[in-house]
Structure 1
Amino acid sequence: MRKFLLALAATTVGVSPSFAQSAPPPKLVVAISVDQLSSDLFDEYRPQLFGGIGRLARGTAFRNGYQGHNASETCPGHSTIMTGSRPSRTGIIANYWFDLSQQRSDKGVYCAEDERVQGSSSTAYTVSPYHLRVPTLGDLLKAARPGSRNVAVAGKDRSAIMMGGRALDQRWYWDGKTFVTDLKGVAVPRSVIATRTAVAQAIAQDRPALQMPALCQQKARIVPIEGGGAPVGGGAFARKAGDARSFRASPEFDGATLALAASLIEEMQLGRGPSTDIISVGLSATDFVGHSYGTGGAETCLQMFSLDRDLGDFFRLLDSKGIDYLVMLTSDHGGQDIPERKRLNGVPGAVRVPSDLYGKEMGKTLGAKLGLKGPVLYGDGAFGDMYLDRSLSAGERAKAKAAAVAAYRAHPLVEAVFTHEELRAAKSPTGSPDKWSLIERARASFDDERSGDFVVLLKPDVTPIADTKSYVSTHGSPWDYDRRVPILFWRAGMAASNRDDAIETADIMPTLAATIGLPVDASKIDGECVDNIQGVTCPVR
């Protein structure tokens, strides 16, 4: 993929414009989300990175950005970045939730599906922005300036949907085999065809192990995994021909996504029209690597160095085109390492949940205890929103709810349980996101229509995966290793500014809007324009 990027760079050479405080708005906004890039990872690897991440870190770098809400998952996190709103306003409360009023047997709802389409399910769905209740920056820009282009490219459909919005000129994302789109009537660009061909050829070849930098070699320690999973920690990323799943959980995946983004920028001449254009790029490999191997081993180390290199190539390509571009890079959420390695590194309380904490299992236990038939509880795992079976009578639901809330609150691995009524009555959080209480974090993820009958928050250092045959690590907690993410702004000539103050990812959209001179109704978003960024003049509050 790197060779593909460098080949594109050879077609035209120019000089990037220098930055000035009074410079006109950038011609291209490049909004990048690196899935599962926690501030912990950013802080750890920043001194070693001299490519793309290193470049951005020399702009305005907020190391204490926050996905402030409790549901620190891919879909909710991406929904905040380009909308200026928290999940409580975007309506994207989780990757999956339950709608028990549905007539279909599958009561689950995927955040980026349109369940109104006949035959759609939460696992075999029709991709759509149907559930997103607010516009993105690209939506607002195209409405105000029809000449602007709005493009999204991502390794996940939900990333492209939530960052791009509805008014898209092009949207492409990985479907497990190749890059596809949900947009109707859009001709497949030459750049997409070329990228598909290059990726297919890459997957069709055996891949030898990657060479590891010295730092990664120090982390290459094999760690056994509980719950049936294979040991992790050796690094390398060797891959057999045809193994698309391993391709997805390797540094090559981000290289492919960036190659597609770069080629669309060139083919569409983004950043060279009369109005500002936006391209949103969702890089998903860090997330798949983290889920597959944990965040503390040689695999994530290799991924960080590779990501830095590929981003550096991508930015040099944009430089060569003479485009005046502004980059914003952040993450949809952070993540924690596997408990087995955390214990080796001095965190004795790091554990995996037992299967009896899963909503389905808890429902069975309560049903047997209370003499209730049916699932009793619906829940996507051992934490998050839990829903009471609507086939129960009102009295049975009340009894089941009281018993379920009491059982979860009494469990030694549960930090807190908040009921639907408690969250509805709570005020939306204000002030610095690092100071929010647990109920405020949960309130930022609450939607009166979509949220469960109660929400379960696990204690710190608890990994909510019992069966590790597919994934060994995950995220989604209210704790800072999942909430705290970097937020970086860079434009050519911008002076370096390291910022320790806490801001929200919801602040990104109004800050970018101010940079391109696009008015935004502050009453319709949760975020605020961030002051004291070179080149950004925030509206008077």
Structure 2
Amino acid sequence: MPIRILAGLAALVTAAAAHSAPPPQPKLIVAIAVDQFSSALFEQYRGRFTGGLKTLSSGVVNASGYQNHAATETCPGHSTILTGRNPAHTGIVANQWYDPDLGRQMYCVEDPAGPVPGRDTAPRGPANLKVPTLGEWMKAANPASRVFAVSGKDRAAIAMAGHNADGTFWWDEERGFNTYVPQGTTAAQRLAPVAGLNAALVKRWEIKAPVWTPSGQCRAGGTDTFGTMTITHTLPPAGNAGGWDEPANLKYFRASPGLDQVTLDAAQGLIDRFKLGRGAAPDLLAISLSASDYVGHRYGGGGPEMCDQLMHLDRMLGVFLAKLAASKVPVVVVLTADHGALDAVERVAKQGIPAQRLTADAFTEVGREVQAEFKLDYFPFAGDAQQITIAGFGERDAKLDARIAASAIERLRKRPEVAAVFSSAEVVAAEPKPGTPPDELTLVERMHESFYPARSGDIQVAYRPYLSGGAPAAPGDYVAGHGSPWNYDRRVPILFWWPGATGFEQPLAVATTDIAPTLAALVGVTPPAVDGRCLDLDGTSADSCAKR
């Protein structure tokens, strides 16, 4: 090859390197979770995004991200994102679990030490989260770091913020953005960062209630029957045309793009008020956008409602990211999801998949069979249909409990709707080999990654793929859901972006537990023990995981 051609190629390589922008050492990390944003939805609509989701797709794209665990619900999923740990270590095994000491279900962010203004019977806080978050690592390295979280859901905000955050806020239909009040502080102090937005929303909505205005990018029409309920697909959906300031219609606001808009408004308000990214140490802002989850539950993920929700989300994120870029603050953004979902099974079945409603109640039916077999004067099960705890009263008979569990497992394994049943001992023993890719985990290994002995049931049950519980009968009933150990509920996108990012696609499986150690490397923080690994975000021969 002539020397001049070699010289030309070298110049091109040099120019490309000069125009590439490796990840900066950020002064601000923005971690975004889009609730129920499966990889399937990301791939379906990716070509139609023109705003923030397109911008994020120009960065480092991991389309095959996974939640490692089996319990694909909001609280466990969020608990993995900024801790680097699976629920087996975070202790957040489900949205709620049976507490034998209390004799009832425990909500994942129930915390007696965290009173919530106006919600005397619903204290909230991070006490149930057993590991520190990225924000806590950053504060330990430099106490000047500030950590905030905002979401449509309390459990999402708290699981991402962790302990001792500077502010943790979530949407409360009757009060605007709310929070918990740690000992030694006052409600006024804790709510001050969102008080202005709350007051502005009240004033704005007194003049005109918010409405779901169609994006014009999705085609409405047609009907579907889910359970015994028939839905006519209009945009905006029936009940969402307005009047959200009226108590009877408050439930509709959550299942609309409006919820994400006020959440992003709150996030922007925190950036502006506290000048995040402009202090002496790097800051962290966690944002969980909840509307897609409510839309998915209420209308399914395969209709025009979800299409329009995602088009609005794309536009809103575009505005938000543009402001971040214009601020010139060195920032890195990550976007992922807490879990995926299965569309309404009636619609899935039309596409050739053997999906159906789960009408049988294995929890109750097998429980009664076992109760009769052992002539018990009490119902022997507590918990739920996927995590069954052997219940009892007074002094426990361990041998009897073991016999009850063995009989229940045998009976459950014979049921046609059940794919697999494992005892707690089998789950504990199924620790994956280090380095096992998340898409190669066996079913029992996924359950292992969800299992926390003090909170998980004695029996773990996996139902067949493409089954959906519930029997929707009236508007507002859930028509679709998640929570299974199958990949349609586990697979989520993981996108990293910063202004000027040199994008690349990484097709192999990675995990949400990889996010926190990846971000920690960028800010020069050494994480404690984690289940994930640092992902190299530099598209060149350099390594963003190298110590800075």
Asked whether the equivalents of residues 229 and 472 of structure 1 are also in contact (C-alpha less than 8 Å), the reply is: no
Question: 2:145 is matched with which residue: 141, 145, 148?
Answer: 148
Equivalent pairs counted in the alignment come to 509
SS at 1:223's partner residue?
Answer: strand
Instruction: Indicate the residue corresponding to 1:284 in structure 2.
Output: 290
Matched, 1:423 2:427: yes
User: What is the root-mean-square deviation in Å for CA atoms of aligned residues?
Assistant: 2.5
Asked whether the equivalents of residues 390 and 401 of structure 2 are also in contact (C-alpha less than 8 Å), the reply is: yes
Q: CA, structure 1 residues 481+370, in 2 after alignment: closer, same or farther (shift >3 Å)?
A: same
> 1:468, CA displacement in angstroms?
5.3
> 1:368, CA displacement in angstroms?
3.7
Asked whether the equivalents of residues 149 and 169 of structure 1 are also in contact (C-alpha less than 8 Å), the reply is: yes
AA at the equivalent of 2:307 = C
> 1:532, CA displacement in angstroms?
4.6
> 1:397, CA displacement in angstroms?
2.4
Asked whether the equivalents of residues 171 and 183 of structure 1 are also in contact (C-alpha less than 8 Å), the reply is: no
Partner Cα separation in structure 2 for residue 201 and residue 370 of structure 1? 62
Instruction: Indicate the residue corresponding to 2:388 in structure 1.
Output: 386
The equivalences for 1:114-133 within 5 A come to: 114=111, 124-133=121-130
Matched, 1:76 2:76: yes
Question: 2:455 is matched with which residue: 450, 463, 467?
Answer: 450
Asked whether the equivalents of residues 222 and 233 of structure 1 are also in contact (C-alpha less than 8 Å), the reply is: yes
Using the size of structure 1 for normalisation, the TM-score is 0.88
Using the size of structure 2 for normalisation, the TM-score is 0.87
Instruction: Indicate the residue corresponding to 1:471 in structure 2.
Output: 478
Shifted more, 110-119 versus 125-134: the winner is 110-119
The equivalences for 1:220-239 within 5 A come to: 220-226=221-227, 228-229=228-229, 231=231, 233-236=233-236, 237-239=240-242
- Which whole-Å deviations, capped at 9, do the CAs of 1:394-423 have from their partners, x for residues lacking one? 344233222321222111111111110101
The equivalences for 1:72-471 within 5 A come to: 72-102=72-102, 107-114=104-111, 124-177=121-174, 178-184=176-182, 185=185, 187-188=189-190, 192-200=194-202, 205-206=208-209, 210-214=213-217, 216-217=218-219, 220-226=221-227, 228-229=228-229, 231=231, 233-236=233-236, 237-241=240-244, 242=246, 243-347=249-353, 349-357=354-362, 359-380=363-384, 382=385, 384-391=386-393, 393-430=397-434, 431-466=436-471, 469=474, 470-471=477-478
> 1:225, CA displacement in angstroms?
1.6
> 1:50, CA displacement in angstroms?
1.0
SS at 2:32's partner residue?
Answer: strand
> 1:21, CA displacement in angstroms?
5.0
AA at the equivalent of 1:464 = G
SS at 1:476's partner residue?
Answer: coil
Partner Cα separation in structure 1 for residue 291 and residue 366 of structure 2? 33
Shifted more, 493-502 versus 235-244: the winner is 235-244
Partner Cα separation in structure 1 for residue 232 and residue 482 of structure 2? 18
Of all paired residues, the percent bearing the same amino acid is: 39
Partner Cα separation in structure 1 for residue 401 and residue 204 of structure 2? 53
Q: CA, structure 1 residues 278+458, in 2 after alignment: closer, same or farther (shift >3 Å)?
A: same
> 1:117, CA displacement in angstroms?
8.3
> 1:290, CA displacement in angstroms?
0.7
Partner Cα separation in structure 1 for residue 446 and residue 328 of structure 2? 43
Q: CA, structure 1 residues 201+362, in 2 after alignment: closer, same or farther (shift >3 Å)?
A: farther
Asked whether the equivalents of residues 203 and 247 of structure 1 are also in contact (C-alpha less than 8 Å), the reply is: no
Matched, 1:520 2:521: no
Q: CA, structure 1 residues 334+371, in 2 after alignment: closer, same or farther (shift >3 Å)?
A: same
Instruction: Indicate the residue corresponding to 1:52 in structure 2.
Output: 52
SS at 2:223's partner residue?
Answer: coil
Instruction: Indicate the residue corresponding to 2:5 in structure 1.
Output: none
- Which whole-Å deviations, capped at 9, do the CAs of 1:154-192 have from their partners, x for residues lacking one? 111111111111121111112333211113326256651
> 1:213, CA displacement in angstroms?
3.2
> 1:143, CA displacement in angstroms?
1.2
Asked whether the equivalents of residues 36 and 292 of structure 2 are also in contact (C-alpha less than 8 Å), the reply is: yes
AA at the equivalent of 2:168 = R
Asked whether the equivalents of residues 19 and 491 of structure 1 are also in contact (C-alpha less than 8 Å), the reply is: no
Asked whether the equivalents of residues 515 and 536 of structure 1 are also in contact (C-alpha less than 8 Å), the reply is: no
> 1:452, CA displacement in angstroms?
0.4
AA at the equivalent of 1:48 = R
Partner Cα separation in structure 2 for residue 452 and residue 233 of structure 1? 40
SS at 2:495's partner residue?
Answer: strand
Matched, 1:498 2:505: yes
Gaps of 5+ in 2: 1-17
Partner Cα separation in structure 2 for residue 387 and residue 314 of structure 1? 45
Partner Cα separation in structure 1 for residue 492 and residue 23 of structure 2? 29
SS at 1:510's partner residue?
Answer: helix
> 1:307, CA displacement in angstroms?
0.5
> 1:202, CA displacement in angstroms?
6.0
AA at the equivalent of 1:479 = W
Asked whether the equivalents of residues 363 and 378 of structure 1 are also in contact (C-alpha less than 8 Å), the reply is: no
Partner Cα separation in structure 2 for residue 138 and residue 376 of structure 1? 42
Asked whether the equivalents of residues 34 and 331 of structure 1 are also in contact (C-alpha less than 8 Å), the reply is: yes
- Which whole-Å deviations, capped at 9, do the CAs of 1:418-476 have from their partners, x for residues lacking one? 11010122223532101111111111101122110011111111112245553121101
Asked whether the equivalents of residues 82 and 133 of structure 2 are also in contact (C-alpha less than 8 Å), the reply is: yes
Asked whether the equivalents of residues 150 and 263 of structure 2 are also in contact (C-alpha less than 8 Å), the reply is: yes
Q: CA, structure 1 residues 153+101, in 2 after alignment: closer, same or farther (shift >3 Å)?
A: same
Asked whether the equivalents of residues 23 and 498 of structure 2 are also in contact (C-alpha less than 8 Å), the reply is: no
Asked whether the equivalents of residues 129 and 162 of structure 1 are also in contact (C-alpha less than 8 Å), the reply is: yes
Asked whether the equivalents of residues 32 and 283 of structure 1 are also in contact (C-alpha less than 8 Å), the reply is: yes
Instruction: Indicate the residue corresponding to 2:3 in structure 1.
Output: none
Matched, 1:484 2:491: yes
AA at the equivalent of 2:197 = T
Q: CA, structure 1 residues 65+232, in 2 after alignment: closer, same or farther (shift >3 Å)?
A: farther
Gaps of 5+ in 1: 1-17
